[in-house]
């Protein structure tokens, strides 16, 4: 990664160099880079110059970062849209960018995702009392960011299908 940034002195070049090392290992948000530079002790004016340069060069891009996180979390299948929103907020991504990222969220699959997660969780606790297993699964879905209605519906759907299988078989 070679960047030609004309800076005024040794401190500026050191700041850029350290920051490039920080972002080389994994994508970072603007806020993450800014916080790291503050920890290094750089002045706000210098931080802003370096951040502007990195954005202009496409080395930090919060929208791209958000889309990448969305893609990873959707493919992994373990977080709801609400949990993804929360995760992006924690990384300092601005709300309007989060909204833009979540426009690409596959909302039509939210219930399917909740059911998949619940099924796996129920299997994990198959030896437990059914009420305890249900409560633990419900709590897990809520922690994964699904709202109460979605989590409850997912559990009811799974229970209904299990009941139909038992009656039919």
Identify the pLDDT of residue 13.
85
Tens-digit pLDDT profile for residues 92-137: 999 999 999 999 998 888 899 899 999 999 888 778 888 999 999 9
Tens-digit pLDDT profile for residues 15-25: 999 999 999 98
If asked whether residues 89 and 129 sit together in one domain, one would say no
Residue 133, domain CATH: 1.10.10
**C-beta separation of 104 from 64 below 8 A:** no
- Please report whether residue 2 resides in a domain: no
Q: What is the mean pLDDT of the chain?
A: 89
Distances (CA, A) of 111 to 117, 123, 133: 10, 18, 19
Residue 5, phi-psi category: left (phi > 0), alpha (psi -120 to 50), beta (remainder): beta
**C-beta separation of 37 from 19 below 8 A:** yes
pLDDT at 2 over 50: no
Q: How many domains does the chain have?
A: 3
Identify the pLDDT of residue 5.
52
- Can you give the residue range of the structural domain that contains 46? 10-56
If asked whether residues 119 and 143 sit together in one domain, one would say yes
Band the pLDDT of 4: cuts 50, 70, 90. low
């Amino acid at each position: 990664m070679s960047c030609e940034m004309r800076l005024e002195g040794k401190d500026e070049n050191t700041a850029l160099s350290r920051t490039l090392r920080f972002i080389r290992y994994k994508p970072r948000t603007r806020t993450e880079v800014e916080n790291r530079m503050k920890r290094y002790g750089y002045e706000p004016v210098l931080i802003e110059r370096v951040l502007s340069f990195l954005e202009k060069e496409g080395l930090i891009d919060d929208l791209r970062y958000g889309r990448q996180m969305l893609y990873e979390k959707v493919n992994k299948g373990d977080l709801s849209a609400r949990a993804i929103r929360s995760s992006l907020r924690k990384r300092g991504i601005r709300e309007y960018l989060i909204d833009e990222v979540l426009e690409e969220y596959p909302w039509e699959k939210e219930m399917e995702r909740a059911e998949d997660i619940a099924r796996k969780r129920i299997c994990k606790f198959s030896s437990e009392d059914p009420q305890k297993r249900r409560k633990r699964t419900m709590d897990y879905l809520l922690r994964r960011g699904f709202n109460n209605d979605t989590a409850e519906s997912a559990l009811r759907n799974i229970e209904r299908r299990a009941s139909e299988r038992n009656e039919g078989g």
